[in-house]
Chain A
Amino acid sequence: MTDTSQGSTEISDLVGTADLPEPEVPGEQVSESAYRRLRRMVVLATATVSLLPLAITVVINYVQFHEALQAEAVDPMARLTLNTKRSLELFLSERRSALTFLVHDRPFVELCDRAALTRVISNLNRSLEVGAFVDLGVIDDDGGQLCYSGPYELEGRNYSDQDWFHEVARRGTYTSDVFLGFRNSPHFAIAIKHDRPDGGFYVLRATIDAEMLSEQILTAGLQPTDDVFLINRQGILQSPSRHYGEILGQVPLPVPHYSPTVEVVELEDDRGRTIFMSSAHINISPFILVQIKPAREAMGRWFSLRSELLAFLFISAGLILAVILWGSGQLIRRMREADERRTALYHQVEYSNKLASIGRLAAGVAHEINNPLAIINEKAGLLLDLVTVGPETRHEERLVAAVDSILRSVQRCKKVTHRLLGFARHMDVQTETIDLENLLREVLGFLEQEAEYRDLTVSFQVQDKLPTAVSDRGQLQQVFLNILNNAFAAVSDGGRIGIELAREDADHVAVTIADDGVGIPKEHLQRIFEPFFTTKSGTGTGLGLSITYGIVKKLGGTCRVESEVGTGTRFTVVLPISREG
């Protein structure tokens, strides 16, 4: 330690109270979570204003395209269904008209003649271009078949117990479901009632091959995956279907409710395919015309368009989000850096102010103490003079010893006050030529009390003919005080701190302060000069080394640190030397 190792309690106390290296200045550092919150808000707001219009546009396009393409797919289908419905109705109506004509044209007795009936059938089949009657029967109002012409022996058969007979009696006309009947071939019947002048009635009933119905169904323009067929109101197939079963089988689809027009619905069939089903009820018949088109074929264009639309949406949204995230990250980072710089500056100013006021206080104290100290000094000196100059007195030896002790104490006090004054004087001094060794010894003076208590060894090595540095004395004191304080904090009791002054190169001198303390972990080493980086949780502001770094840079020097956990830390401050010396 230096030769001023005694009696610097007051200074250390003063410095300790003032907390020089880690000033407790009011911080306005913005917390990490505040930046995160801000970034969230920026991202949210920007994303909302940019993604919402995009999403709305895409949704509108989606709906419009869907409607347009669906109409494009569905309309021709509905038209085809309507045309087929009309041709089927015409087909049935022609046959009903033929029968109506018959009952009005021929007297009842003529119709009740089998040969005449056979003739009628052949004439009708000749006149109607397609679809012939298979047989023809006349049934009286009791339900008994009076006369029959056809391939079966049905004469005399009674129909009074059958529903169709009652219906035709009630409504005047009737078209049956397709049935297998007596010859195991699908056919259906048309019947009309005719009132007789005597008040009774009779029914003319004709059977038509169900094949005729299938032929009426327009199959032109149908894709192989499409299907057109007839069902009755119970969902029984009245004509063969490509995909939904044989004739007279139950169709695995819901039976459409009655509607006077063509209805198109989208649904899922028994095989899980999404299909469009267009349906129309055939007037005065139990038949429902059904046309099926798989949605995949019908909406092929829509599906590819939808994929493109969604891809567009996701790619755009992804790009926008990426830009927003990147941009906001940059923005917040810049903001945070600016904040940190500002806060660090603020703290540095605060710190300097504090240091200056401590300096003024120290100067005041030193000055006030110096005057009485001068009196004590002179009075003690006088005492000594009187004792030694005059004749020998009884207690001369003890008196001289006492006065010497007083004078030594005065010298100690003088050192204290001078150091305080020196400290204060350097507050406002600018660049000057500095003997670094002297300066470091001065700074060590502030810490020697602690060094002594903790039994620390502080060694000093100075290269011969070391040039003086040109710098700001007060700020340089602050720099070394900060570094030495850290070194003191790092070493355990009985530890070693080495200070080395050596020439760095032609223009620079290096001050190295090494300790054998705990060392700094690698991940902390890169950050120790950052403002607010601290490992002294609760006690440190994390500004000491950042201020140190700032000052050294301002003074035209550089700062470097090497450390190894468990081995110790070496701080090196490189300063420019003065030209003249």
Chain B
Amino acid sequence: MDDLRLLFVDDEEELVSAVVERLELRGIDGVGATSGDEALDHLREGSFDVVVLDIKMPGIGGLEVLRTINRRHPEVKVILMTGHGSAKDSEIGRRLGAVAYLEKPVDLEDLLMTVDQAVNPEGGGPDGA
């Protein structure tokens, strides 16, 4: 997981910076973005293994970003995140190819476990899959 590149997208800058910093402390190459546009910019500029995406954002929403990623970067794994647990959103996200769906506030350890399962679906994670 050390060579993992992760893009964390949320409209709350404070949240993004804290998560990025904590990822760095764990030796993970984390990049933050506070809008859908910024996230797509980052994806254009460099390659990422996993994108953690908030569904509800001003401007381009998470689901819209997910569609774009599917189109342009089909190899990137996407984990969706939401502040309110709408069953409809999670269903749509799953159909659009998101690998997981997390409810905010997300615990970093939970997030990392989900990320690990996403990139190693065959069972390379700490708890297996």
Residues of A within 8 A of B25 (CB): 382, 385-386, 389
Check if B103 is an interface residue, CB within 8 A of chain A.
yes
Please give me the residue from chain B that is nearest to A386 by CB atom: B25
Check if A540 is an interface residue, CB within 8 A of chain B.
no
B83/A371 in contact, CB under 8 A: yes
Instruction: Provide the B98-112 mask, 1 if CB < 8 A to any CB of A, else 0.
Output: 000001111110000
Check if A354 is an interface residue, CB within 8 A of chain B.
no
A422 to B87, CA, bound (A): 10
B103/A418 in contact, CB under 8 A: yes
Please give me the residue from chain B that is nearest to A372 by CB atom: B12
Residues of B within 8 A of A371 (CB): 12, 15, 83, 104
Kindly identify, within residues 395 to 435 of chain A, every residue whose CB is under 8 Å from any CB belonging to chain B: 410, 414, 418, 421-422, 424-425, 429
A374/B84 in contact, CB under 8 A: no
A residues lining the B interface (CB < 8 Å):
363, 366-367, 370-371, 373-379, 381-382, 385-386, 389, 410, 414, 418, 421-422, 424-425, 429
Say whether chain A's binding surface is mostly helix, strand, loop, or mixed. helix
A366/B84 in contact, CB under 8 A: yes
A382 to B15, CA, bound (A): 10
Residues of B within 8 A of A373 (CB): 104-105
Closest approach, in angstroms, between the C-beta of A462 and any C-beta of chain B? 25
A382-B22, A385-B22, A389-B25 in contact; A375/B83 too (CB < 8 A)?
no
Residues of A within 8 A of B87 (CB): 425, 429
B85/A374 in contact, CB under 8 A: no
Check if B19 is an interface residue, CB within 8 A of chain A.
yes
Residues of A within 8 A of B29 (CB): none
Closest approach, in angstroms, between the C-beta of A176 and any C-beta of chain B? 129
A381/B22 in contact, CB under 8 A: yes
Check if B18 is an interface residue, CB within 8 A of chain A.
yes
Closest approach, in angstroms, between the C-beta of A217 and any C-beta of chain B? 118
A363 to B88, CA, bound (A): 14
Residues of A within 8 A of B108 (CB): 378, 381
Contact for B18 among A379, A389, A422, A429, CB less than 8 A: A379
Please give me the residue from chain A that is nearest to B11 by CB atom: A371
A371 to B105, CA, bound (A): 7
Contact for A367 among B14, B18, B21, B84, CB less than 8 A: B84
A425-B85, A425-B87 in contact; A382/B107 too (CB < 8 A)?
no
Contact for A378 among B15, B83, B86, CB less than 8 A: B15
A521 to B30, CA, bound (A): 68
Closest approach, in angstroms, between the C-beta of A567 and any C-beta of chain B? 42
B84/A410 in contact, CB under 8 A: no
